[in-house]
Amino acid sequence: MRPLTYSLLIVLSLTFSKVNAQNTQTVDRPKLVVGIVVDQMRHEYLYRFYDKFGSDGFKRLMGEGFVIKNGHYNYAPTYTGPGHASVYTGTTPAIHGIIGNDFYDKGLKKMVNCVGDPSQTAVGGLAKYGQVSPFRMLSTTITDELKLATNRTAKVIGVSMKDRGAALPAGHMADAAYWYDKSSGNFITSTYYMKELPAWVKQFNSKNLANIYLQQEWKPLLPLEKYTESGPDASPYERKFKGKETTTFPYNLPAMRKDNGDFDLLAYTPFANDYVTEFAKATLVNEKMGKDAIPDFLCISYSTTDILGHAMGPRSVEVQDLYLRLDKNIADLLKTLDKEVGAGNYTLFLTADHAVGENSQFLKDQGVPGGHFSPNRAEAMLREFLEGYFPGKNLIENVSNDQIFLNHEAFQGAPKTSGLDFFIVAELIGKYLMTMDGVANYFTEGVLRQGAFDEGGVKGMIIRGYHPKRSGDVVFVLEPGWMDAWAVQGTTHGSPYAYDTNVPILFYGKGVKKGESTRRYSITDISPTLSMILNITIPSGAIGNPVSELIE
């Protein structure tokens, strides 16, 4: 063989070897994605409680990950069901259809739960607590897209105290979603996912951890005088537990169980977060998540921050103590992930399904505008008002979630001389609402349907939260600082204002740069960002954009 020919063969051989090596390389993806939603968490909690946090929980995520300081919900209503759906679909209720935790079904003519599914039943618990599936969510989730991208070989599991906190993030194609059965203290699922609980879940439930947690006393982690970031322990703005004369520490859980729903009481204590963390860790280990090249997805939602937050409000020592303990839960979870999956092999994000407002009476006592609005009283006044114009006509079918559903059948066949015009009635209702204390504005269906999806201000927030087939005929918005009358003690959420929309958005781990941004981002940007990190399709209804400045 001639030297030139021999040399050419060597060059060609090396070239083909290099090309072949390049062709066999796999797409670089994390082995596991962990999504953490902290129910009712304000972004400012990260900084208000910062000095009391340890170094391995929130501080680790903030110091080694990427912090979006100006992250917001871009629609209203800001509730739990819509929040979880929006984080994982990358879109808003106008598209994914989850317009409330419970909402009025126009076809069934009754209120329905956002994850309620009468065709399913419980697996491992009381039948009524298992009528759950994500079928009412109309678009795909990032977890669905991971399933599709891997031909269903990726493992996807959701864990939460609340059924909606587990089912919606895990998506339509999940391997499992588990939530708390308050009648037994166990984690259960539904027939949508499986016919029988896995052996490891049965074994976990057999430990009776809920009962063990409820046999102890809840005392503050620190001396009470150290909770300088919160108000006094004894506060008139907090709701009392049944059978307890004060709203102060300590909480004798064994003595309180009988009067406060037995196992249901656990959800009001930080030990529920311990329980969810232990179950999430058991899920990780027993399901062998993150152990191969196919990425898995573990969805965790901490619900107690919302359940206790409603009762006590954001200035309470109880809520601060809850977050100091949650910080330890996050540290424990990160330590387990490092051990089981390996540092640098997983991507984690942490956010909230909504934030929360101050107690309205507290605001008034500080000289800040605020108040309480009674939907029941408003409905009664509206009915009386319309009776004066249209005697004997039942024009209102339902009032819920700051929406008014008209009785469409009452308008069918009405003579023109009656003056019973759908659009006129809707405007009459809106104008009358504007005479009520606490109402800031109203929007009729016609106005919302004609509005631009990307419109700014409060109107734009309502448009993006309005689903044409599911939402009401008139939507009204309360003034800032106003909330429903049931929250005289404690607090609530749901508004389009910054105190309900500004939530933490933290990214950490594989594919994530270290840093922070004060640029305004939307909660709907989370799933498209994960799509880029995972190199998979963006969810079907997504309107958000990847946060390019955090991606390595």
Buried b (16+ CB within 10 A) or exposed e, 491-508: bbbbbbbebbbbbbbbbb
Do 312 and 232 touch, CB atoms closer than 8 A? no
DSSP reduced 3-state for 440: strand
The active-site residue, picked from 80, 141, 189, 492, is 80
Catalytic-residue membership of 444: no
The three-class DSSP label of residue 29 is coil
Radius of gyration of the chain (CA): 26
Helix (H), strand (E), coil (C) string for 180-247? EECCCCEEEEECCCCCCCCHHHHHHHCCCHHHHHCCCEECCCCCHHHCCCCCCCCCCCCCCCCCCCCC
367: left (phi over 0), alpha (psi -120 to 50) or beta: left
- The residue assigned the tokens 């992250």 is 71
Question: What one-character-per-residue DSSP string does 308-337 give?
Answer: HHHHH-TT-HHHHHHHHHHHHHHHHHHHHH
Contact 46, 492 (CB under 8 A): no
Distance, CA of 189 to CA of 185 (rounded, Å): 13
Specify the long-range contacts of residues 420-429, CB closer than 8 Å, at least 24 apart: 420/390, 420/393, 422/473, 425/386, 425/390, 425/395, 426/473, 426/474, 428/385, 428/386, 428/389, 429/382, 429/386, 429/404, 429/474
* Pairing outcome for strands 251-252 and 217-218: antiparallel
Rounded CA separation 228/48 (Å): 10
By the 8 A CB rule, do 284 and 267 touch? no
For residues 28 and 511, give the distance between their C-alpha atoms in angstroms, rounded to a whole number: 9
Q: Which residues pair with 470 in a beta bridge?
A: none
As a whole number of angstroms, the distance between CA 188 and CA 548 comes to 38
In contact, 397 and 105? CB cutoff 8 Å? no
Rounded to 5°, the CA angle 343-346-351 comes to: 115
Joined together, the tokens standing for residue 209 give: 């951890």
Residues with catalytic function: 80
